[in-house]
Amino acid sequence: MRSRRSTSLAVAALLLAALAACNGRGGGHLPPQGPLYNGQASFGFTFSCQDRGGPNPPTGQLRTQLSYNDHGANPIGGPFGIHGTADALDSVTESMLCIGRNPPPGGNELIFLGRYRATTPAPAGYPEECQARGRLAAPHCRFEVIVRDNDGDHVPSPGDFFSITLSSDTTVASTLDPATVFYTRAGVLAGGNITVK
């Protein structure tokens, strides 16, 4: 029990910097980026991590929903889609992370990690251990997303930044092991909007 609590506290300390923002949401698409990515990549996400406060505050809760689809040929093969959710953390660790008082790193940037599952058939370069599909499939491989609200407005406009990294790693930590990363894509949006607050 003691080692499990120590592990939870270590994970909380590692993730604190990455999960500092309270809320973020957005959607849009990245343009084709030839020659490696010949199609658009569309995404949508919501992120919240907060403790509502008050005399008897509820446990802070981390909520993440991510939808991502690469619509063309890419370094791992053809089109694919994923659905991401928050990492599974015990309630004490989750509450420690979701205090709702820290500003985003850099003021307009949000970095979040979680687990994902495939929503489409996987291309050739997609790791077999990450191919569980369907709404009931338990996701276990991990992703990292970085979003940047460059324009600070709340209307659709190009200029915001989105980055995604997919890993075959299953270990909850504040960073992904580079040796397990099999897909990454980043760029300024060609359409859509990201809001970080």
Where the chain has pLDDT below 70, the residues are 1-22, 50-61, 88-107, 133-139, 152-158
Answer whether 0.85 is exceeded by the pTM. Answer: no
pLDDT the model gives residue 140: 81
User: What is the domain count for the chain?
Assistant: 1
pLDDT the model gives residue 12: 41
- The pair of structure tokens assigned to 94 is 């989750």
List the domain range (segments joined by +) for residue 34: 2-52+59-196
Query: Identity (one letter) of the amino acid at 192?
Result: G
54, 15, 152, 41 alpha-carbon torsion, rounded to 10°: -130
pLDDT the model gives residue 94: 54
How deeply is 4 buried, as exposed, middle or buried, from its count of CB atoms within 10 A (0-12, 13-18, 19+)?
exposed
Dihedral class, residue 100 (left if φ above 0, else alpha if ψ from -120 to 50, else beta):
left
pLDDT the model gives residue 91: 60
